[in-house]
Amino acid sequence: MRTAYKIAGLAAVAGAAFGASYYLSQGSRERQGPLPAVRPVVPDVRPLFALADTAGVTRSIAEWDGRALVINFWATWCPPCRREIPLLNSLRAEYAPRGFEVIGVAVDFRDDVLRYMAATPIDYPVLIGEQDGLEAVRAFGLGTLGFPFTVFTDTRGRIVTIHVGELHAAEAAIILSAVTDVVAGRVTIEAARTLIRGAGHPVAEKRHK
């Protein structure tokens, strides 16, 4: 019961920021929100935010400046979020030597996240936030999207794309190849976005502020 009340409490906070993007259903149904009716306003450059890590130390996303980032927003109560974790572990192992880093951002109750991580190996840094986690989501212009979603940036902090929904290996390979080409100067960031869109992946289209 305690967990149910806590989930309901966080969902109430999330509802104010996300509108109707959470399903407050019981049981094991996937609580993943619908896509927004209008395209989100996504900034060109990764916004700054700071959240506590699993040790309780506040970490700024700027600590990873100079690396291409895979920033995954998730929650423990979200089944597709949980399914992504083994893939994200493997991406971290494969791409960290190439200058990438995977960062998990758990928008959830801290004790629930720590309990989940005690039983589930996560091999990349995880930041945790409740209301401040929701504020980080809004900073990316995605206040009406449900979980999960994953932000891909180049080494200059520019947002190449945002993948909406569960990330799969084939999708990750195409996106990370495009980001790698951007970092190497082989393609422009606009060309990389066109390539990713052409692959038919569920991405959040950009509109400039």
Tell me if 10 is assigned to some domain. yes
CB atoms inside a 10 Å sphere around CB 67 = 19
Instruction: Provide the residue range defining the domain that includes 176.
Output: 2-198
Q: For residues 39-52, b (16+ Cβ closer than 10 Å) or e, as one string?
A: ebebeeebbebebb
What pLDDT sits at residue 85? Answer: 98
Q: For position 35, what pLDDT does the model report?
A: 41
Q: Does the residue 207 lie in any domain?
A: no
Q: How far apart are CA 209 and CA 202, in angstroms?
A: 21
Is the residue at 206 inside a domain?
no
Report helix, strand or coil for 59. Answer: strand
| Residue 9, in any domain of the structure | yes
In this prediction, residue 145 carries a pLDDT of 66
Query: How many CA atoms lie within 13 Å of 16's alpha carbon, on the beta-carbon side?
Result: 9
- 155/157 Cα distance (integer angstroms): 5
141 lies in a domain?
A: yes
Instruction: Judge whether 13 lies within some domain.
Output: yes
Q: How many helices (H) and strands (E) does the chain have?
A: 6, 7
Q: What is the pLDDT along the chain (209 residues), one digit of tens a residue?
A: 444 434 444 544 344 333 333 322 222 334 444 444 445 678 899 999 999 999 999 999 999 999 999 999 999 999 999 999 999 999 999 999 999 999 999 999 999 999 999 999 999 999 999 999 999 999 998 765 689 999 999 999 999 999 999 999 999 999 999 999 999 999 999 999 999 988 765 555 544 34
Q: What is the pLDDT of residue 55?
A: 97
Give Cβ neighbours of residue 191 (< 8 Å, ≥ 6 apart): none
| CATH assignment at residue 116 | 3.40.30.10
pLDDT number for residue 144:
59
Tell me if 69 is assigned to some domain.
Answer: yes
Indicate the burial class of 29 (C-beta count within 10 angstroms; 0-12, 13-18, 19 or more).
exposed
Contacts of 187 (CB under 8 A, 6+ apart): 178, 181, 195
Residue 39: what pLDDT?
Answer: 56
State the SS3 of 81-118: HHHHHHHHHHHHHHHHHHCEEEEEEEECCHHHHHHHHH
- Residues 81, 13, 115, CA angle at the centre, nearest 5°? 45
- Cα(147)–Cα(10) distance, integer angstroms: 14
Q: What is the pTM of this model?
A: 0.80
pLDDT at 9: 45
**Total count of domains within the chain:** 1
